[in-house]
Structure 1
């Protein structure tokens, strides 16, 4: 009996030994990573966690509308674009804030509309520095955190806000808003992951591997054809539009906070309306009906665009009331599958088109607001 007891306890002792060993290793790694973390997977700010000094190469073998190899780099600020200049006060500093249509994660660093906009503005303005602070999936909830935690501390000259699509029927921070927010999750599991360097490292490595495989389903292309057409009754459309009222009121409130925060910090806020591939008409490349194309049950192109235009109108009205610039990209951008790979996200050609359209609208505004930076200005730069 005694021998049997010894044999039975041996596996238990081995298990306890491995548990002890794992606990010790975990604690040591936690200490080491807190003292020195060479992976630079996050920046510990008040809330927003930014990928700092990160180089990422994305392999795309799914979407033929995008490059097969995509470079996505983050500078020391955690943004896309050149690092903060040493003589920053002598630059016309511009930061773009928005969701995935601003970040353009699946466009190469030098093909995003933010990068191209900076280049084009430099044709008529001196010392332009432009960075892209867009974050995939963020709504105006996330934009407020980004502005308050990071951007306003830099005191840029201008902040451009491209908003709308992620705020449709949004009454609370989205999954993606919380994903990049310290303290955004209240449950114990997410608390542990947020506060453990080891677990956070493992989680980020896992996410990085999945991103490398380019298997994010939210970024798959939409194949346009006339096989998926649906006409919704006016009663269905009007009911859905009526349901937007509380969301629109809250959206206006968040936009107002963005504007007021910028003004309080001597930053010029510029609002940009959200374009979309769908709406009235037919796609010139495929002939697909952009109004009747079915996006999901109960939602066709007409309804999506009509809803989105309600949010865009909030932007237009607020701009007039607060007397701040509004770039109406929603009306300027052609509805053409050459420029979009799904409902909202831009192809390389689309990003080039966006940059061209925004430059034509924005350059005269900046020349008027910041005359010292005009290339024809005679006075020295500040």
Structure 2
């Protein structure tokens, strides 16, 4: 009996190994996304989680990622015009495929006569630490991937940050065992099937959950910060590091054969009135753990004007380094105003109307400064 069992197990092992060798990607570098927190080969359709007044008019939304991990790729990877890189504000997890700023930007440019493929490579939670790692761990591993421009929509996830966030920014596996597990996951047909089934059964993505509310709908607002000058030492260290990483992204982008575009970001914690920032009166910061542990106690409660100052300092360093590198620089943080009550569904993430506003801004800038220059 034991001998028969062993024979059957041996036959099953041979069959499984054969299936792996035939259908897996053990001799290919095509699938490079299992080693980090990225979704691929999934189409998720769910009820629109945003209320009708800000939900973009769709009862259901579709969130899809192709085999490369991209959202919105319409043609071959060798003919991408604009590859957009950023965190959850680029990913836009709770906005339909057709209502992301990338999809709208592509449509707006098409109306102007420009046939442009705008592709979404945003990763939830990722900062410029992770954007740098995208090249060796993702983009460089996609055969024939080319892009004319790589647009970095950055700032929010880098604010006050001096270390990468392990969950989102560390692409490579931290140990030999983890690397081996990542290699097996990357190439195994059975793991790929497991991921497909998991995606079909998943109730929702595991990271950026829609649990927060819009904080900018009602006043009163204040015009003075809680934290007076000077900004904390961690801010100076953060800005110096961000400046270096913008420079590194510029270098990596040009080595990749693309032109870098840097776009600054803003939140809904403040608004401009006659050119002056007014902010929500109190906000308990939801900084990443890597940020919180470096902040003094008085940073436990801030207001919107404090965040305006942080965001402005962050945007300034991005623009300064961008211009020093002769890249393409769009200062959205200082140039674009939103209707915070309807364009955001929480402190930083845009609704379809907010994404539409971003797309309109980018279409004008790209048309004027790239295509008509």
TM-score norm. by structure 1 comes to 0.73
SS across alignment from 1:142: helix
2:332 paired residue among 317, 321, 329? 329
Q: Which residue of 1 aligns with 2:296?
A: none
2:174 paired residue among 178, 185, 210? 185
Q: Which residue of 2 aligns with 1:310?
A: 313
Q: CA deviation at 1:255?
A: 0.9
Q: Deviations over 1:102-153 (max 9, x none)?
A: 1112111110001111111123343322211111111112211224444466
Give the alignment of 1:1-382 within 5 angstroms. Answer: 32=19, 35-36=22-23, 43-44=31-32, 51-61=39-49, 65-66=54-55, 67-85=58-76, 88=79, 93-151=81-139, 154-178=145-169, 181=171, 183-186=172-175, 192=181, 195-196=184-185, 197=188, 209-210=201-202, 212-213=203-204, 218-224=209-215, 234=226, 236-238=227-229, 241-280=232-271, 290-296=279-285, 297-331=300-334, 332-368=336-372
Relative to structure 1, the CA distance from residue 306 to residue 68 in structure 2 (aligned partners, 3 Å threshold; closer, same or farther) is: farther
Whether contact under 8 Å (1:59, 1:213) holds in the other structure is no
SS across alignment from 2:266: coil
Relative to structure 1, the CA distance from residue 220 to residue 240 in structure 2 (aligned partners, 3 Å threshold; closer, same or farther) is: farther
Whether contact under 8 Å (1:77, 1:84) holds in the other structure is no
Q: CA deviation at 1:345?
A: 0.7
Q: Deviations over 1:147-192 (max 9, x none)?
A: 444446623111111011111232333244257x3x3333856864
Q: Deviations over 1:302-359 (max 9, x none)?
A: 2222212211111111122122221111121325221111111110111111111111
Instruction: Compare 189-198 and 140-149 and name the one that shifted more.
Output: 189-198
Instruction: Compare 56-65 and 240-249 and name the one that shifted more.
Output: 56-65
Q: CA deviation at 1:237?
A: 4.7
Relative to structure 1, the CA distance from residue 304 to residue 27 in structure 2 (aligned partners, 3 Å threshold; closer, same or farther) is: farther
Q: Deviations over 1:23-76 (max 9, x none)?
A: 9989976874564369xxx92269657544432223344766435421112234
- Unmatched runs of 5 consecutive residues or more in structure 2: 286-299
Q: Deviations over 1:197-230 (max 9, x none)?
A: 56786578557755x3467565334243669989
Which of the pair has the greater relative contact order for Cα pairs under 8 Å at 6+ separation? 2
Relative to structure 1, the CA distance from residue 216 to residue 138 in structure 2 (aligned partners, 3 Å threshold; closer, same or farther) is: closer
Aligned residues: CA RMSD:
4.1
Relative to structure 1, the CA distance from residue 217 to residue 130 in structure 2 (aligned partners, 3 Å threshold; closer, same or farther) is: closer
**Higher Rg of the two aligned structures:** 1
C-alpha distance in structure 1 between counterparts of 2:139 and 2:309, whole Å: 32
C-alpha distance in structure 2 between counterparts of 1:133 and 1:320, whole Å: 24
- Unmatched runs of 5 consecutive residues or more in structure 1: 1-17, 283-288, 370-382
C-alpha distance in structure 1 between counterparts of 2:95 and 2:17, whole Å: 35
Q: CA deviation at 1:260?
A: 1.4
C-alpha distance in structure 2 between counterparts of 1:93 and 1:356, whole Å: 18
C-alpha distance in structure 2 between counterparts of 1:245 and 1:48, whole Å: 30
Whether contact under 8 Å (2:270, 2:308) holds in the other structure is yes
TM-score norm. by structure 2 comes to 0.74
Whether contact under 8 Å (1:94, 1:129) holds in the other structure is yes
C-alpha distance in structure 1 between counterparts of 2:205 and 2:137, whole Å: 30
C-alpha distance in structure 1 between counterparts of 2:253 and 2:77, whole Å: 23
